[in-house]
Amino acid sequence: MIDFKFLEQIPTLEKGRQGFDLWLIDFEPSEMLSLFSTVLVNEERVAAARYLSAERTGLAIASRATLRLLLSLYLQKHPLEIEILHNEYQKPMLNPSDQLYFNVSHSADQILVGISRHTPIGVDIESMRTDTDWKNIAKHYSSPAEYEMLNSAEDPKFFFYQLWTAKEAFMKGYGTGFHFPLNQFTIEYSDSLCGKVTSLVPLSPDHWQIQNFQLSDSCMGAVAVPGELESIHATRLSTQTIKKIAASWNLV
Ligand SMILES: CC(C)(COP(=O)(O)OP(=O)(O)OC[C@H]1O[C@@H](n2cnc3c(N)ncnc32)[C@H](O)[C@@H]1OP(=O)(O)O)[C@@H](O)C(=O)NCCC(=O)NCCS
């Protein structure tokens, strides 16, 4: 069970703290354009502007600006001096010398950032929409074992979202995104919300563990790491708190 604690001030990070951090930020896409475009490097601003809707542009700005501001707390570096690289599958990542891993997911009005000091991490949030053709998605993207579990689940739609976020969190943590076929590995649950990745051929599963969490009645989340998923610190921040971090660097 992951419980997000609401924090109103700039977080202080204890030195040497172990475990994984999850940051959930509630935001207004319309506010983000004006508030945070100063927190992006030029190429990120250009990439965000390419989206056709102002809402999607706001989301791209919010996501990258929030990420830079949170990372500035860990790295004690100016947000604009943080170098964000991409792997061949477009996974954003830090320079190995920073010794810090992160992953981001967003829905229409929330951003989830997972940060880890020792191992890669993957996160995903999905709104459990009523109009999604989840049965069809499940048919194509579940492994045979998962499809069987889904058909015998008490609440198949809920289980679908649990499985989907878990699979996506793993693929994002692993770094390949949807480039690796999602039906070629299985999330095996040991209790209702904790599981591990199995049957992964030809990739090595590295003992990836998964933890699901429900953010609201209509929003499911998952975090995945290679190893034990212990000591998860989960914090919920408002846009105003993110703005305070930007102000501390004289960026707003
Ligand atoms: C990465 C991917 C899983 C994102 O899924 P999504 O549900 O649309 O979006 P989420 O909100 O969960 O995550 C988006 C974030 O994932 C991160 N991301 C992008 N590529 C990633 C990858 N290969 N691995 C891990 N994380 C990735 C980015 O930070 C992105 O946020 P940003 O665009 O604001 O920087 C998916 O888009 C993907 O696999 N893309 C690459 C392959 C592809 O384009 N396939 C299309 C055919 S389905």
pLDDT in tens, 101-155: 999 999 888 999 999 998 999 999 999 988 889 999 999 999 999 999 999 999 9
pLDDT at res. 203: 61
Return the best residue to mutate from 113, 170, 178 for the ligand 1 pocket (most ligand atoms within 8 A of CB).
178
Decide: 177 in ligand 1 pocket, CB within 6 A: yes
Least confident residue range of 25-39, 83-97, 114-128, 220-234: 25-39
What is the average pLDDT score of the chain? 92
The two tokens of residue 29 are 């896409």
Question: Which residues have C-beta within 8 Å of that of residue 79, sequence separation ≥ 6?
Answer: 39, 65, 68, 69, 71, 72, 246, 249, 251
CA-closest candidate to residue 108, choices 25, 191, 209: 25
What's CA 218's distance to the chain center, in Å?
17
Decide: 167 in ligand 1 pocket, CB within 6 A: no
Angle at Cα 157 formed by Cα 227 and Cα 29, nearest 5°? 75
Domains of the chain, by residue range, sit at 19-119+232-248, 125-226
Please count the helices (runs of H) and the strands (runs of E) in the chain: 7, 12
pLDDT at res. 114: 98
Decide: 40 in ligand 1 pocket, CB within 6 A: no
pTM for this entry: 0.94
Query: Do 125-226 and 19-119+232-248 have the same topology in CATH?
Result: yes
Question: Residue 153: helix, strand or coil by DSSP?
Answer: coil
Decide: 124 in ligand 1 pocket, CB within 6 A: yes
- Statement: residue 205 has pLDDT above 80: no
Residues in the chain: 252
Return the best residue to mutate from 172, 174, 183 for the ligand 1 pocket (most ligand atoms within 8 A of CB).
172
Instruction: Report, as an integer, the average pLDDT of 79-87.
Output: 97
Q: Cite the beta strand spans of 73-163 per DSSP E.
A: 84-86, 92-94, 101-106, 110-116, 122-127
The CATH superfamily assigned to 19-119+232-248 is 4'-phosphopantetheinyl transferase domain (3.90.470.20)
Q: Which fold has domain 125-226?
A: Ribosomal Protein L22; Chain A (3.90.470)
Q: Whose C-alpha lies nearest to ligand 1, atom 20?
A: 91
